[in-house]
Amino acid sequence: MNKRATRNATLLLALWLAAGPAVAQDEADDGVETTVKPLPSEIMPLTPGSLLLDIVNTGEHLIAVGDRGAVVVSNDGVKWAQVQTPTRAPLTAVDFVDADHGWAVGHDAVILHTADGGRSWEIQNFEPELEMPLLDVLFLDQERGFAIGAYGLFYATTDGGASWEEVDSPIREDEWHFNSMTQLADGALFIAGESGTLAISTDEGQTWSAVESPYESSLFGALPYADKGVVIFGLRGNVFVSEDAGSGEWREVTTGSVASMFGGTLLDDGRKAMVGVNGNVMLSANGIDEITVLKSAAGTPLSSVIPLGDVLLAVGESGVQRIALQ
């Protein structure tokens, strides 16, 4: 199977499918297309139960993003309200550096910013002509951030997103999808992606180095482990751990499952939770060496998860799901 076919075969792509046009075209008098403009999201009552792809806790609110430019907000994780955004492109990831300042990314290489805790959003980047989605976003503070995505798409900003520049790095040469960027316990930044792509930066994103991978297929996420280590997860229930994220030395974690995992989180007690296909949830104990597999009530794919008291809040194909912790 060639590179492009492999990319198209990844299960995560099924969660990125757009549900309708995300742009409008202005035409000149002669009918020739001149500009492409984003369509604003539509407020729909069923949005909290529809496809959502990422969720965060800002410290004051819970915010989830998803299909058709959806942003939904909650104070308690039970009642959710949708706010309008200036795009109808599917939003794949969201990150906040404090209770007010956040960014969301998605299809059409769109980047949205809020400075009021998610009440209102503005467009910082919009490139539908690329026909490539951004898949994750990570900010170090209010000024410095990164957005990564399909086919090696990689942007950085040093002014809060007022301007975005492409990152020039050897890790982009093969044009694999970059699926996630995570900040580890020692401050290092870690990328996980398609075809076993792994990369690390120990200078806050100024330079990047490839990391030898234990797995040749897609990896969808990473979680901090101990002082300088990392846990990575991906297709077919594959989970690996390294005591030193940049060393390329890995050991496989026995999960007892072949369910692909798309998102993960750290719990307050140090446990790790990973979510994926068919509503499966992997919950760690004893560091990462013991895995319990739970399942959401809906049994549909999950893409992201956060802890909230004695439950997990996960999002995916069926919107927000509450999963009791054991």
* 14-57 pLDDT tens trace: 444 333 446 665 554 555 555 788 999 999 999 999 999 999 99
Hey, which residues does 179 pair with through a beta bridge? none
What is the rounded CA–CA span in Å between residue 164 and residue 182?
Answer: 19
Closest CA to 167 of 144, 193, 142, 133: 144
Closest CA to 316 of 131, 51, 78, 67: 51
Name every residue whose Cβ is closer than 8 Å to that of residue 206 and which is 6 or more positions away in sequence. none
What pTM, to 2 d.p., does this model score?
Answer: 0.91
Residue segments in the chain with a per-residue pLDDT below the cut of 70: 1-34, 326
Contact 320, 49 (CB under 8 A): yes
Tell me the domain boundaries of the chain: 12-21+35-134
77-123: per-residue pLDDT in tens?
999 999 999 999 999 999 999 999 999 999 999 999 999 999 999 99
